[in-house]
A and B are shown apart, each in its own frame.
Chain A
C-alpha cells in the first residue's frame, strides 16, 4: 500500500504539496515514485519562475520515461532541492521529505482547497 500522509494536498497527476509550510515544498507521491521506479535525473525549474496552477514546471526522468511535473498551485518557485542533482534516487527512497523537488510561494493560498486531501487521493489511486 502506498503511503499517503494526511497533512499534504494532492494533484491528480500525483504531485503533493505541503500547505502547512510557507513556502510550500512540492514533490511526487509514494504511489508515483513506485510507478516510475528508478528516478535517474531531475531537471529542476528555475528559481524565480512565476507559475500558474497546473502549469508544467519541470521534468523527472526514470530509466524508461520522462514525466512532467505540474505546479499544484500558482506562485513563485523560490527554491529547488539541490540534493536531487547528485542523488535523484532520493525521490524513490524518501518521496515526502528528502525527495521534495521545489518550493513554491503560493500567490493564492485558497487554491489549496481545490486540491485533493489524503482521503480523496487515496481513492484516486486505489
Chain B
C-alpha cells in the first residue's frame, strides 16, 4: 500500500484549527466541514451571514485578442453577451457533451476573462482547455489557482459585512458582476455570486493576504450576528437551492441537458465543444434527467449512492442527498427516466435495505419567505 497523497492546505488552515473547526478531506484539500455545527451555520447564512473559505477553488485568467472566441468555442453559455464587469454560469463539456466542469466566467475587460472553477477539476479543466487551444488563437491562459485564496460571504447581511470591511457600499458586487480593485495589501476580485441562494459575494485575493482579510471578515460577520461556516453548511445550502455539485450531480457521463441546465447552454450561438452531441441528444430525447425529490414521511436522510426505485424497480441512485435544515425533511437529486421525473411522481429511496417514499418536486427545494 502506498501512502495516500497528502492533502493540500489553504492559507487559512491554521486559523480554522485555531477557531475550532473540524477538518475533513474534500477534493484533495483538508477543509473545515464545520466550526460549531452544520445546522447553526446553515441557519446563520439563511438568517444573517456566514463566511466560507473557498481557497481550494481554481482561477484561470484567459486573455488576448482571441479570448472571447476561444471561450465561446469551449463553454456552453454565450460569452459574447457579457459586458466588462459581468459574469455568467457556464459549462465546460467534452466532445460527447459530458460535463467536465461547471464554472463562472467573468469578463474583466474586452479581452480578458476570469474563470472560477471547481477545486476537484482544476487539473482536468486546464488539460482540456490546452487541448482545445489552437496555435493561431492569440490566447494566453494563466492558472492563478495555486496562489489565490478565496472567501465567500453569504447571507442577507453580506452587504453589511462588505461595508464594514471595505468601508464603502461601492465595494459590494451586484449579482453576476465582478469588481477588480487594488487595496493597500494587493488586488482583490469581488464576484457577485455564491452557492447558497442568498445575497452575497465571493472574494478572491493573493494568498498571503488571506489571513488578515479572513480575521477582519470573521469579526464583521460575528458583529452582524453570523459566524464562520464550513463545507457541511455549504453543501446543505446549495442543495436546498437545487444547485448541482460536480462529482455528485455532474459528470462526464451526462450532459447539461440531463442535469436540467439547458438554460446555460446556447445551442444557437455557433459551434462549441459538445454541441453536436447535445443537438443529437435533444433530437433523440433525453434518456434520463436529474430529478429533485423530497422525502414524504419520517425517514433517514437520503445520501449519495442510495438506490432509487420507481414502480418497484431500482432505476438509479441518489446523487446528492441530505437532511434540509430549512425544511426539516430529507431532500436529494437523482437521475431517473423521464417517466419517473414528472413533478409529483413517487420514488422510493432504499436506505439500509428498507424503502422510504419520496416525491419528485420542483427546484429550488427552499424559497426565501417573502418579506
CA distance A81 to B36 in the complex (A): 27
* A-B contacts at CB below 8 angstroms, number: 40
Instruction: Determine which of B232, B298, B300 lies in contact with A64 in the assembled complex, contact meaning CB atoms within 8 Å.
Output: B232
Q: A37-B39, A38-B39 are in contact. Are A66 and B300 (CB under 8 A)?
A: yes
Q: A61-B323, A63-B232, A66-B303 are in contact. Are A37 and B34 (CB under 8 A)?
A: yes
Residues of A within 8 A of B298 (CB): 41, 85
CA distance A40 to B329 in the complex (A): 9
Is B139 at the interface (CB under 8 A from chain A)? Answer: no
Q: How far is the CB of A9 from chain B (nearest CB, A)?
A: 27
CA distance A62 to B42 in the complex (A): 14
Is A117 at the interface (CB under 8 A from chain B)? Answer: no
The residue of chain B having its C-beta at the shortest distance from the C-beta of A60 within the complex is B300
CA distance A62 to B299 in the complex (A): 12
Interface of A toward B, CB cutoff 8 Å? 37-38, 40-41, 43, 59, 61-64, 66, 85
In the assembled complex, 16 residue pairs joining A and B whose CB atoms fall closer than 8 Å, in A order, are A37-B36, A37-B37, A37-B38, A38-B37, A38-B325, A40-B301, A40-B323, A43-B300, A59-B352, A61-B301, A63-B322, A63-B323, A63-B325, A66-B300, A66-B301, A85-B298
CA distance A74 to B38 in the complex (A): 35
Q: Which of B31-72 contact A (CB under 8 A)?
A: 33-34, 36-39
Q: How far is the CB of A98 from chain B (nearest CB, A)?
A: 19
Residues of A within 8 A of B352 (CB): 43, 59
Is B236 at the interface (CB under 8 A from chain A)? Answer: yes
CA distance A62 to B303 in the complex (A): 11
The residue of chain A having its C-beta at the shortest distance from the C-beta of B351 within the complex is A43
Q: Which of B107-139 contact A (CB under 8 A)?
A: none
Residues of A within 8 A of B299 (CB): 41
Interface of B toward A, CB cutoff 8 Å? 33-34, 36-39, 232, 236, 298-301, 303, 322-323, 325, 352
Q: How far is the CB of A88 from chain B (nearest CB, A)?
A: 10
The residue of chain B having its C-beta at the shortest distance from the C-beta of A92 within the complex is B37
Residues of B within 8 A of A43 (CB): 300, 352
Asked if B300 contacts A41 (CB within 8 A), the reply is yes
- Which of A40, A59, A63 is most buried by chain B, counting CB atoms within 10 A of its CB? A63
Known pairs A62-B38, A63-B38, A64-B38. 13 more at Cβ < 8 A? A37-B34, A40-B323, A41-B298, A41-B301, A59-B300, A61-B300, A63-B39, A63-B232, A63-B301, A63-B325, A64-B34, A66-B303, A85-B298
Q: A59-B352, A63-B232, A64-B232 are in contact. Are A38 and B38 (CB under 8 A)?
A: yes
Asked if B39 contacts A64 (CB within 8 A), the reply is no
CA distance A66 to B352 in the complex (A): 11
Residues of A within 8 A of B322 (CB): 63
CA distance A63 to B321 in the complex (A): 10
Q: How far is the CB of B231 from chain A (nearest CB, A)?
A: 10
Residues of A within 8 A of B236 (CB): 63
The residue of chain A having its C-beta at the shortest distance from the C-beta of B295 within the complex is A41
CA distance A39 to B60 in the complex (A): 40
CA distance A40 to B295 in the complex (A): 13
CA distance A66 to B323 in the complex (A): 11
Asked if B303 contacts A41 (CB within 8 A), the reply is no
The residue of chain A having its C-beta at the shortest distance from the C-beta of B301 within the complex is A61
CA distance A63 to B303 in the complex (A): 10
Residues of A within 8 A of B34 (CB): 37, 64
CA distance A85 to B300 in the complex (A): 11
The residue of chain B having its C-beta at the shortest distance from the C-beta of A42 within the complex is B300
